C-alpha cells in the first residue's frame, strides 16, 4: 500500500502514521510538484484538496481513495474523479470547535469595541466613553446547519441567544430554536442581530447573498462569513458596507484569495478581515488524521472507508 501525502504535516505526525502502519509506505511530498513523480504508485492520496488537477488524477493510475484533510471541496477535480470511480472522504466535523469559537470571539470583538481600546492603548489614551454592548439575548441566524453551524448555535445558547437555522432541507437540528429552508431566509433576515454564513460552495450556493439580502438586514446587523467567499456577491457587500446598510462585516473568506491588496474591504472601518484561518489551530491536523485512521483501518482490512464519504457528483 502506497500513501502519497501532499498536505504539509509536522514530523511528529508523520512518525505517528509510519509507526501505526509499518506495512504501509508513506511518501510525504509537498508541494504537489514534488509529488508528481509518485502519482502512478499511489493507492491513497492525503491532500488539502486545492492542489489536485485532472492531470494529476489521470497520472494516478492506481489511485483508489483520496482523503481531503479539510471540509471544503470546491477546488477538487470531481469530473475526472467520477470518471475513474475514486472514493473521496473529507475531514468534515473537525472545524466545529475552532470556527464556533471564532464566531463568538469576533462578535465580542465588535460589540465590546476591542479595536478602539487597542488603538487608545497605543496612544496612551484613557477614555471611558467608548461604547460597549452585550451579545447576550440577541438573535443569531445561522445559514448552514451542519456540524459547524450546530456548534455555533450551541455556544450562542450560552449567551441566551435565540438561534435560527437555515439550510437546503430546513430539517430541524440540535441547538436551534427553529429551522427553515433556504428560500425562507428573506423573511427571517430583518429580525437577526447576527447573520452567520457557513455555506459551502456548490452550484446552488454560489452568489447566495446579494444586495437584496443586505437590504433586508437590520442596520445594526453584523454579517459574518466563514463559509465560502463565492457564496457572497462581494461587490454588493462592499456597497452595503459603504452605505452602512449593515453595522459590520466579519470576513474570513473571499471571492478570490488571497484578498487583493487593492480591495476596498481593507479600508472599511466597518469590516474585519482574517486570512481564511478561522479553523487553523494546532489541533487541526491531528483531528483530520483521526478520521483518516478510522477509514484506513477499514481499508486495510479490505473494506470501504465509511467516515465522511463524499458524493463526487454533488461535491459534498
Q: How many domains does the chain have?
A: 2
Active site residue 276: yes
Cell 443569531: give the residue. Answer: 140
Q: Would you tell me how many other CB atoms lie within 10 Å of the CB of residue 170?
A: 16
Among the options 83, 244, 257, 314, which is catalytic?
257
Query: Of the listed 38, 95, 276, 287, which one is catalytic?
Result: 276
Long-range contacts formed by 106-112: CB under 8 A, 24+ apart? 106/224, 106/250, 106/272, 106/274, 107/135, 107/194, 107/222, 107/224, 107/250, 108/135, 109/272, 110/222, 110/247, 110/248, 110/250, 110/272, 111/135
Instruction: For residues 78 and 144, state if they share a domain.
Output: no
Whether residue 316 is contained in a domain is answered as no
Q: Are residues 208 and 265 in the same domain?
A: yes
Specify whether 116 is located in the same domain as 256: yes
Q: What is the distance between the alpha carbons of residues 311 and 291, in angstroms, rounded to a whole number? A: 17
Residues 123, 264 share a domain: yes
* Residue 314 belongs to some domain of the structure: no
* Pair (185, 162) in one structural domain: yes
The answer to whether position 160 is within a domain reads: yes
Q: What is the CATH number of the domain that holds 132?
A: 3.40.50.720
Domain for residue 308, yes or no? no
Residues 269 and 294 in one domain: no
> Is 228 tagged catalytic?
yes
Digit-by-digit pLDDT tens for the chain (316 residues) are 999 999 999 999 999 999 999 999 999 999 999 999 999 999 999 999 989 999 999 999 999 999 999 877 888 999 999 999 999 999 999 999 999 999 999 999 999 999 999 999 999 999 999 999 999 999 999 999 999 999 999 999 999 999 999 999 999 999 999 999 999 999 999 999 999 999 998 889 999 999 999 999 999 999 999 999 999 999 999 999 999 999 999 999 999 999 999 999 999 999 999 999 999 999 999 999 999 999 999 999 999 999 999 998 887 7
Residues 102 and 212 reside in one and the same domain: yes
Of residues 56, 228, 248, 287, which has the active-site annotation? Answer: 228
List of residues 6+ apart from 203 with CB closer than 8 A? none
C-alpha cell belonging to residue 210: 446579494
Domain of residue 263, residue span: 96-273
Count Cβ atoms within 10 A of the Cβ of residue 253 and give its class: 0-12 exposed, 13-18 middle, 19 or more buried. buried
Amino acid at each position: 500500500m502506497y500513501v502519497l501525502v501532499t498536505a504539509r504535516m509536522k514530523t511528529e505526525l508523520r512518525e505517528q502514521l509510519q509507526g501505526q502502519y509499518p506495512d504501509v509506505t508513506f511518501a510525504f511530498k509537498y508541494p504537489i510538484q514534488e509529488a508528481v513523480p509518485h502519482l502512478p504508485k499511489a493507492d491513497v492520496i492525503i491532500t488539502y484538496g486545492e492542489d489536485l488537477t485532472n492531470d494529476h488524477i489521470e497520472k494516478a493510475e492506481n489511485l483508489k481513495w483520496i482523503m481531503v484533510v479539510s471540509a471544503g471541496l470546491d477546488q477538487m477535480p470531481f469530473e475526472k474523479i467520477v470518471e475513474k470511480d475514486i472514493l473521496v472522504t473529507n475531514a468534515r466535523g473537525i472545524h466545529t470547535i475552532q470556527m464556533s469559537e471564532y464566531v463568538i470571539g469576533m462578535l465580542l470583538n465588535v460589540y465590546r469595541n476591542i479595536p478602539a481600546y487597542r488603538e487608545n492603548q497605543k496612544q496612551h489614551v484613557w477614555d471611558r466613553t467608548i461604547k460597549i454592548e452585550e451579545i447576550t439575548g440577541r438573535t443569531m441566524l445561522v445559514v448552514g446547519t451542519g456540524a459547524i453551524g450546530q456548534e455555533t448555535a450551541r455556544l450562542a445558547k450560552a449567551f441566551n441567544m435565540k438561534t435560527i437555522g437555515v439550510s437546503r432541507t430546513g430539517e430541524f437540528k440540535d441547538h436551534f430554536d427553529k429551522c427553515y429552508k433556504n428560500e425562507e431566509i428573506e423573511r427571517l433576515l430583518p429580525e437577526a442581530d447576527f447573520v452567520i454564513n457557513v455555506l459551502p460552495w456548490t452550484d446552488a450556493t454560489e452568489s447566495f447573498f446579494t444586495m437584496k439580502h443586505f437590504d433586508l438586514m437590520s442596520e445594526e446587523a453584523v454579517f459574518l462569513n466563514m463559509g465560502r467567499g463565492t457564496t457572497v456577491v462581494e461587490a454588493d457587500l462592499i456597497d452595503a458596507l459603504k452605505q452602512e446598510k449593515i453595522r459590520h462585516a466579519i470576513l474570513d473568506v473571499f471571492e478570490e484569495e488571497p484578498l487583493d491588496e487593492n480591495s476596498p474591504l481593507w479600508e472599511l472601518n466597518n469590516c474585519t478581515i482574517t486570512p481564511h484561518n478561522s479553523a487553523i489551530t494546532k489541533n487541526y491536523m491531528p483531528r483530520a488524521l483521526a478520521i483518516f485512521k478510522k477509514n484506513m483501518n477499514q481499508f486495510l482490512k479490505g473494506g470501504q472507508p465509511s467516515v465522511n464519504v463524499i458524493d463526487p457528483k454533488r461535491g459534498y
